[in-house]
Amino acid sequence: MIVVVRPKHVKRLTPPATMRPMIALGIDPGTATCGFGVVALEDGRLRLVDAGCVRTEATETDAQRLRQIHEALTGLIEQHRPDRVGIERLFFQRNVQTAMTVGQARGIALLVAAQHGLRIDEPTPNEVKQAVCGNGAADKAQVATMVERLLGVSMADATDDATDALAIAIGCCYRAAAEPRVATA
C-alpha cells in the first residue's frame, strides 16, 4: 500500500495557463519514507507546488516497497511534469544497511526520472545546504528555516524528509536559473 503524506497546509497548485514556470521535483530518497518536494520558479520567485512523503510498510518485501516508490514517483512526475529532478546523492552513511536501502530507493528515483527523459541533478547534502542556506555545514533547523523563508510558508507540520526534498528542489531551481547566464557568457 502506498501512503502519500502531505503537510496540512500544502495545497497542490496548478500553474497559470499563460506561462509555464520552471518546475523542479526534489527527492530525499528512502525506502521506508521517501520525501518529495515540488517547487516552481517563475519570474525569479519560488513557489511551493506540492510536498510530502511516500511511505511504505515495513512488513512488505524490499521488491514491493521499491515498486511502490516507483509508482508514486511516476505519479508525481506525471501530475506535476517537472523540467528537472534533484535526487540527493548518498554522501556518507555509518550504517551499511541504511546505506544499502537508501541507495536502492535512490536508484529507483534515478530510473523514474530517466524513463521520463528529465534533467537530473544529484547534489550532495552539503551542496543542498550551501544552495539554500549559503553554508554547507548548516543544520536541519537552519535548512527548514530557509525553506520556509524562501517559499513563504510554514513547515511546522512537515516531516524532515519533505523539507529536505523541498531544499533539493530549490537548489535545482537555482541551478536551472544560473544555466542560461553561464551558457551565454
Domain extent listing, the chain: 3-184
Specify the pLDDT at position 8. 59
Q: How far is CA 148 from CA 46, 101, 104, 152, 156, in A?
A: 11, 29, 30, 5, 9
User: What pLDDT is attached to residue 92?
Assistant: 64
- Which residue of the set 28, 83, 121, 127 is catalytic? 28
pLDDT tens digits in sequence order for the chain, 185 residues long:
556 666 655 554 544 444 578 999 999 999 999 999 999 999 889 999 999 999 999 999 999 999 999 999 999 999 999 999 999 998 666 778 888 888 999 999 999 999 999 999 999 999 999 999 999 999 999 999 999 999 999 988 899 999 999 999 999 999 988 876 544 44
**Residue 120 buriedness (CB in 10 A; 0-12 / 13-18 / 19+):** middle
What nine digits make up the cell of 80? 506535476
Q: How many CA atoms lie within 13 A of 160 on its CB side?
A: 5
How confident is the model at residue 6, as a pLDDT? 63
CB 172 within 8 A of CB 152: no
- Distance (Å, rounded) from C-alpha 140 to C-alpha 137? 10
pLDDT value, residue 178: 85
Reduced to 3 states, what is the DSSP secondary structure of residue 123? coil
Give me the catalytic one of 50, 121, 127, 161.
161
Instruction: Report the candidate in 142, 158, 174, 159 with the shortest Cα–Cα distance to residue 46.
Output: 174
- What integer pLDDT is reported at residue 96 of this predicted model? 83
CATH class of 3-184: alpha beta
Could you tell me which of 87, 98, 69, 85 has the C-alpha nearest to residue 3? 69
Whole-number pLDDT of residue 180 = 61
Q: Of the listed 88, 121, 127, 164, which one is catalytic?
A: 88
Cα–Cα nearest to 70, from 166, 163, 172, 2 = 2
161 is catalytic: yes
Residue 18: the pLDDT is 47
Q: What is the pLDDT of residue 144?
A: 95
Q: Strand 45-55 to strand 33-42: parallel, antiparallel, or no bridges (unpaired)?
A: antiparallel
Burial of 59 (0-12, 13-18, 19+ CB in 10 A): exposed
60: annotated active-site residue: no
Q: What gap in Å lies between CA 134 and CA 119, rounded to an integer?
A: 24
Looking at the whole model, is its pTM more than 0.85?
yes
Dihedral pair phi/psi, residue 120, rounded to 5°: -120, 125
CA distance 119 to 91: 21
Query: Is 88 assigned a catalytic role?
Result: yes
